Amino acid sequence: MMLTDYVKQVSLEDFGWEFRHHAHWNKRLRTTGGRFFPNDGHLDFNPRHLEVYGEAVFRQIVRHELCHYHLYFQGKGYKHQDNDFKALLKQVDGIRYAPKLKESSVKYTYCCQSCGQVYPRRRRMNLQKYRCGKCQGMLSYEKNANQS
C-alpha cells in the first residue's frame, strides 16, 4: 500500500475526515516522526520509525500529523500548544512525541594507557597533542565494536 493511501485510510477511519493531499517518506528527518507543511498541505514521515517501532506506533505518528492537518484546514488551533490540538490528539489516541531513534553518536573511543580512563568521542583526536585529563598519561585509540 502506498503511503498516501495509508494516510487517507487512517484519516477516514480515525477522524471521519478526508485527507486530500500527498504524504511522502523523508529519510532526512532525524528528531521527528513526521512534519506537516501548511503552505501546500503535504505530510512527511520518517520511514525509520515504521521500521524500528512497527505499525502501531507509526499509526499514532500519522494521527499526530493528521491532527495538525485537519485543524489547520478547519481554521482551528493546529499548533502543539493549542487546546484544540491537544483535545483532538487525545480523542484519536495520537502520540504526543515520537519515540527517539537510538543512534550512537560515538565514533571514536580512546583509553588512557596509565589509568584506563575511557574517552568516547564523536571526532578524532590528535594523540600527540592530547593527554589523559585524570593522570596526564598517554592515550591510545580503541577500535569500536560497531566498526569492522
Say whether 65 is catalytic: yes
Residue 70 assigned ligand-binding role = no
Query: Which residue, chain included where needed, has cell 516522526?
Result: 33
Check whether 64 is labelled as a binding-site residue.
yes
Class for domain 3-92, per CATH?
alpha beta
Residues in the chain: 148
Domain locations in the chain as residue ranges: 3-92, 108-142
pLDDT digits (tens, 9 = 90+) for 83-96: 999 999 999 999 99
* Active-site pick, 13, 18, 65, 142: 65
pLDDT for res 104:
65
- CA 57, 59, 60, 61 dihedral sign is positive
- pTM to 2 decimal places: 0.71
Please name the helix (run of DSSP H) or strand (run of DSSP E) that holds residue 141, with its range, or none: strand 139-142
Q: Residue 146: is its pLDDT beyond 60? A: no
In tens, the pLDDT along 22-50 reads 999 999 998 899 999 999 999 999 999 99
Determine the pLDDT at residue 148: 45
Query: Would you state the pLDDT for residue 131?
Result: 93
Q: How far apart are the first and last CA of the chain?
A: 37
